[in-house]
Structure 1
Amino acid sequence: MKKTAAPISFAGSQLGETRHACAFFNGDDEAFRVLLPFMEDGFACGDKTIHIVNPGERCRHLHRLRTAGIDTAAAEQNGQLEFRTNTEAYLRDGRFDQDRMLEVFEMLASGNAGSGFPLSRIVCHMDWAAEVRSHIDDLVEFEARVNDVWFRHDDAVICVYDLAKFGGDTVVDMMRTHPMIVIGGILQQNPFFMLPEDFLREVRQRRVGQMTPDGTTI
């Protein structure tokens, strides 16, 4: 449940009461450089760290953490570090189900997980969504809806987007669904954020406008 928690340092600023952020980077090297201090601070504070990555990326992420001096073996053994693949988290049975994902993140939230850690720092690498257009359409709507979960918990959730893999329209929509944003390596309150109910109304109206008379989408 939401409680008063100390601010979290991240990307040259702080995550205060609102902690759902989209972070736009030009490649993995830039992303890791900005995210590493946030992760190191989490390990030092005793927070749980959860990474959601593409299949096959786990070893590379572990190597980078070990190179930075983090004892990943101990952290995984005591439950402080957890990796999940996007297949496990987002694309179970090969499809993206928004309602199921809301349940998954509700369970991952520190107030419900029963893990013994004060809160979770969740880093979601979103490259998987760029592979299929329908994933992006569903993800845009989901990113707005999941704010209801994170507004009720203290966990810090960073959704990482590689600018080279997503089109301009998608980047704009993702900006409008996250109350906090990282651009140029700096965290700031997002001036483009829309309340979820307003954004969802706009998206659904937009989709109706793209329908042909026979009910198919243009």
Structure 2
Amino acid sequence: MRISDNPVHLAGKPLTHACHACAFFHTDEEKYRVLLPFILEGVERGDLAAHIVNPAQRGMHLARLAQAGVDTDAAQAQGQLAVRTWDETYLQDGKFDPQRMIATLLALIAPADAPPGTVTRNIADMAWSPGARPDAHDIVEYEARLNQVLPEHHNPIVCTYDLTHFSADIVIDILRTHPMVIIGGILQENPFFVPPAEMLEELEARRMAGVTPASAAR
């Protein structure tokens, strides 16, 4: 990832190292207000963009980018912008497979055909997770395992969470699996981050004790 010569900016701050961040929002307006500058900076620099979105909102997402000045047709045709849906990533075959998704994400953040030195800016909408899809435990375990396999100098990954969909205990667990966090539109190092091995050990202990997380959906 480009760091010192021409740093990537996220939520108004330059990234000084690899970034796996959770970003908590209450509304789409808040989310786009924070993330559009990050996206547009990348487009202007010729960076790649990989976005994972709700299938029902793919058109709206592209419209938001177009309204901000992105030629989305050209960017997709040239391979600069990849917009994938939950059904193409997290929920292939209608189910969540953490190991498969980790492999899918690793391919998105470091595509084999990316020009040398190119940054891929990754945004993943996690609103797919409540309800009858994977339970909250699986989501937290996935985020922890992802930290174990990310390269040391990986490209930025921003996992967006809609606070209206999650209970407080799930938000806390999600927070603990991300080294960085965006809250109130501000990016910061996460003082509550738990190293993945420790987090996975805790999750396994909960499972053995029969402790299940509360429902993810509010």
In the alignment, is the contact (CA less than 8 A) between 1:14 and 1:187 conserved in 2?
no
Confirm whether residue 113 of structure 1 aligns to residue 112 of structure 2: yes
- State the 1:134 CA deviation: 3.5
- Which moved further from structure 2: 82-91 or 150-159? 150-159
Deviations 1:133-164 (A, max 9, x none): 63322111010111133343431100000100
Question: What's 1:135 paired with?
Answer: 135
Question: What's 2:17 paired with?
Answer: 17
- State the 1:190 CA deviation: 0.3
TM-score when scaled to structure 1?
0.90
Greater helix proportion: 1
Change in CA separation of 1:143 and 1:57 when aligned onto 2, cut-off 3 Å:
same
Q: Once superposed, what is the RMSD of the aligned Cα atoms? A: 1.8
In the alignment, is the contact (CA less than 8 A) between 2:25 and 2:183 conserved in 1?
yes
Question: What's 1:174 paired with?
Answer: 174
**Alpha-carbon distance between aligned partners in 2 of 1:147 and 1:106, rounded to the nearest angstrom:** 11
Question: What's 1:215 paired with?
Answer: none
Question: What's 1:216 paired with?
Answer: none
TM-score when scaled to structure 2?
0.90
Question: What's 2:67 paired with?
Answer: 67
Question: What's 2:38 paired with?
Answer: 38
Confirm whether residue 5 of structure 1 aligns to residue 18 of structure 2: no
Change in CA separation of 1:46 and 1:149 when aligned onto 2, cut-off 3 Å:
farther
In the alignment, is the contact (CA less than 8 A) between 1:23 and 1:158 conserved in 2?
yes
Q: Structure 2: 5+ residue runs without aligned partners? A: 213-218
Change in CA separation of 1:75 and 1:200 when aligned onto 2, cut-off 3 Å:
same
SS at match of 2:123: strand
Confirm whether residue 156 of structure 1 aligns to residue 156 of structure 2: yes
Q: Structure 1: 5+ residue runs without aligned partners? A: 213-218
In the alignment, is the contact (CA less than 8 A) between 2:126 and 2:160 conserved in 1?
yes
Deviations 1:62-100 (A, max 9, x none): 111111111111111101011111111001111111111
- Which moved further from structure 2: 142-151 or 120-129? 142-151
Identity within the alignment, %: 45
Q: How many corresponding residue pairs?
A: 209
**Alpha-carbon distance between aligned partners in 2 of 1:107 and 1:62, rounded to the nearest angstrom:** 22
Confirm whether residue 27 of structure 1 aligns to residue 19 of structure 2: no
- State the 1:211 CA deviation: 6.4
Code of the aligned partner of 2:14:
Q
**Alpha-carbon distance between aligned partners in 1 of 2:133 and 2:84, rounded to the nearest angstrom:** 23
Deviations 1:162-200 (A, max 9, x none): 100111111001100000000010000000001000001
In the alignment, is the contact (CA less than 8 A) between 1:49 and 1:120 conserved in 2?
yes
- Which moved further from structure 2: 131-140 or 170-179? 131-140
Code of the aligned partner of 2:80:
Q
**Alpha-carbon distance between aligned partners in 2 of 1:186 and 1:47, rounded to the nearest angstrom:** 23
Question: What's 1:84 paired with?
Answer: 84
Confirm whether residue 184 of structure 1 aligns to residue 184 of structure 2: yes
